[in-house]
Amino acid sequence: MPDISDLAVSLIQQTNPSLSPKPEPSRIAISQTQHRLNILQAWFGSLETARNALEGKAVLEIGCGQGDMTVALAWAVGPAGKVHAIDPAPLDYGSPETLREAQHRISSSSPLGGRINWIQSDPIEALKQDAELGAADYVVLAHSLLYMKSAEYVGELFRAVRSDTEPASRRLLVAEWGMRVSNKSAKAHLYAVKAQAARPLESGNVQLYLAPKVTRELAVSAGWKEEEERWIESPEVDDGVWEVAAARSMSVAEVNGDVAWRLLEDMERVMVEPVRCMDVWTSVLH
């Protein structure tokens, strides 16, 4: 099994024809892909175990975005597997690549693309319309919960991916910012997320504040049972920097005096440069 950093570079090179004949990918691309591989490792204990468990399986990924996690999953399921990657966002959403651009690049540039079925739809509606999605062996939500519109919707989604006829072997794999800080330089990231959840930006990433305890309770209420949880402490990605910048873009006129304003003040008060990321909570449920 290759080293995680080497595998991350390889996956980026495979899915990005502009890197031919394989020059070094950007630091951001490497860190984001490596983080997704670290999530796989957290769920399964090792990349080798992840590959053995997922090879040949059908995976339903909810909130795939530009496909960072999708590529890691496509690698893991192998040629005989399939990743059904769903995202309700418009295909022109996203920067520096839109969803349409990123998904087309991944599908057209490597054998991994043939393992992916991209679906632009509300996931609950997609599950109602396509029985194949409901038969997936694994359901994955990786850094997608905070994009959702409410805790009630998340609970409904957890119920939708768990039916009375599902296989007993199905697993729900969750990874999300854990609202926990093990590095003081990550405190600003935590407050930036809370501020945006209190007053979501129209085109922002964060729509919802959801602590692991609440996520677990929603899953249990939907019939899932947690097998184990693991934490990834302060991963070396740039999401903290991005969310602080997004929070700083909030209109003073709109938030002045409300909860979001106080959270922005807290964010500035605890700011330590360079901004790091809060810890990531991962959970396996059956």
Per residue in 137-171, pLDDT (tens digit) is 999 999 999 999 999 999 999 999 996 556 678 99
Q: Which CATH class is domain 4-181+208-235+279-285?
A: alpha beta
Average pLDDT estimate for 186-198: 97
Contacts 24+ apart (CB under 8 A), 69-73: 69/36, 69/39, 69/140, 69/142, 69/143, 70/106, 70/116, 71/11, 71/15, 71/33, 71/36, 71/106, 71/112, 72/11, 72/33, 72/36, 72/37, 72/39, 72/40, 73/40, 73/140
pLDDT for 19: 66
| Strands of the chain, DSSP E | 58-62, 82-87, 116-120, 138-142, 171-177, 226-232, 280-285
Give dist(CA 34, CA 32) in Å, integer. 5
Give dist(CA 195, CA 189) in Å, integer. 10
Give dist(CA 169, CA 44) in Å, integer. 14
Q: Which residue has the higher pLDDT, 218 or 24?
A: 218
> pLDDT tens digits, residue range 61-82?
999 999 999 999 999 999 999 9
Alpha-carbon Rg for the chain, nearest whole angstrom, is 18
The answer to whether residues 214 and 145 touch, using CB atoms and an 8 Å cutoff, is no
The answer to whether residues 80 and 114 touch, using CB atoms and an 8 Å cutoff, is no
pLDDT for 165: 54
Q: What is the DSSP string of 107-162?
A: HHHSGGGGGEEEEES-HHHHHHH-HHHHT-SEEEEES-GGGSS-HHHHHHHHHHT-
pLDDT for 230: 98
Average pLDDT estimate for 201-205: 86
Q: What angle do CA 22, 28, 32 make, to 5 degrees?
A: 95
State the chain's mean pLDDT as an integer.
Answer: 93
Q: Which residue has the higher pLDDT, 178 or 110?
A: 178
pLDDT for 195: 96
Average pLDDT estimate for 3-15: 93
pLDDT for 251: 77
pLDDT for 49: 98
* Most confident listed range (64-78, 95-109, 252-266): 64-78
Q: What is the pTM of this model?
A: 0.95
pLDDT at 96 over 90: no
Average pLDDT estimate for 107-119: 94
